[in-house]
Structure 1
């Protein structure tokens, strides 16, 4: 289920209304992912939450305000968590890329379904397209900075960042149906291709253990 991380926690209203701003955004994200932005409607969300639409106006000025806040939550969540992982301390570039991979494979990390839904939304809305472009730029620059920290020249760091990022976004856009074992079997090759460095066996094993642990939750 898509997650939200509101910038300010709002307590539930008193009386019969038992939902928060986060609840409204959570259901809005569910609808965006499953049905597209055209189906993110106040009445539909209220029905799913079992509340009257009047409670909506405690948290949002309008549907447009809801959509703007929904987009901001996506940017703070998906883009924010990717930037944080790219900036994590790492002993070498293999550890750094493994940090990036951890963000991608963890269901509490990068939400690829939500990312794809926002990109579909951007096809019909120029303002959303500009936010997407800003986020893509921030993401690739963060990954490039990760490579530069480990000694790659700026031009090479930029290209490697784009290859790594675009491959991952394309992987989800194509909806490839690989098993966990198939994906893990390619990890050593991916790490070598993305970095030009052969990973040590213990680095591969550590990432595989993490990925299996996530899958077993």
Structure 2
């Protein structure tokens, strides 16, 4: 008689049923995110993802009850990466408002803090889904609230803090969406001028130098 216990899906000791290749929940999420960015939400299909990983699609159901559960997990990851990342940078301690804006702009050059391609993919998805549109609107509102609070911490009036938060946020969205074929040197050379426009304050040379070095490091890493 076989006395070996039967392991159910919810048992943490159970192993995924994926034939000779083991994949994790994160593997499914990662490939789904790649498809979302490159091909759009309509191409996120269980069979399509399984073929990309060369595994049986039955293994998908070890981690997700349905395609919708996977899509919800993608949105949760986007929130945890982009929305939480931007808010964290806006709330970071800084001696001046220009240094604070530099903290926020680290999101522009470091995909570990903010994935611009993923953000655009979610915005495209929102055009097809009322649910995603509502989540996106809520996320944008949280980001703007954090930027408003950032300016307010440095003595800006409520209306000026709101206006500058909107200019900073919407300008960056439009800038990235334009996908300018702009040399890194050109973009970095504009940093002190952008900081002045965003804040009305001349940045300190050290702040510009530190942000420029940070940008060069991360952009160089992205190109390798």
Q: TM-score, normalised by structure 2?
A: 0.89
For residues 12 and 186 of structure 1, the distance between their equivalents in structure 2, rounded to whole angstroms, comes to 53
Q: Which residue of 2 aligns with 1:94?
A: 98
Instruction: Tell me which stretches of 4 or more aligned residues in structure 1 moved more than 6 Å.
Output: 9-12
Q: Which residue of 1 aligns with 2:124?
A: 120
How many residues align? The count is 209
For residues 65 and 159 of structure 1, the distance between their equivalents in structure 2, rounded to whole angstroms, comes to 38
The structure that has the greater radius of gyration is 2
Q: Does 1:67 align with 2:51?
A: no
Q: Does 1:169 align with 2:173?
A: yes
Q: Which residue of 2 aligns with 1:6?
A: none
Match of 1:58 among 58, 62, 70: 62
1:82 touches 1:139 (CA, 8 Å); kept in 2? yes
Match of 1:19 among 16, 23, 36: 23
For 1:198-209, list aligned pairs within 5 A: 198-209=202-213
Q: Does 1:78 align with 2:82?
A: yes
Q: Residue deviations 1:30-79, cap 9 Å, x none?
A: 00000011101100111111111111011111111111111111111111
Unaligned runs of 5+ in 2: 1-11
Unaligned runs of 5+ in 1: 1-8
For 1:134-149, list aligned pairs within 5 A: 134-149=138-153
For residues 36 and 57 of structure 1, the distance between their equivalents in structure 2, rounded to whole angstroms, comes to 22
Q: TM-score, normalised by structure 1?
A: 0.92
For residues 21 and 180 of structure 2, the distance between their equivalents in structure 1, rounded to whole angstroms, comes to 42
Q: 3-state DSSP class of the match of 1:216?
A: helix
1:10 touches 1:20 (CA, 8 Å); kept in 2? no
Q: Which residue of 1 aligns with 2:194?
A: 190
Q: 3-state DSSP class of the match of 1:167?
A: helix
For residues 53 and 187 of structure 2, the distance between their equivalents in structure 1, rounded to whole angstroms, comes to 38
Q: Does 1:154 align with 2:158?
A: yes
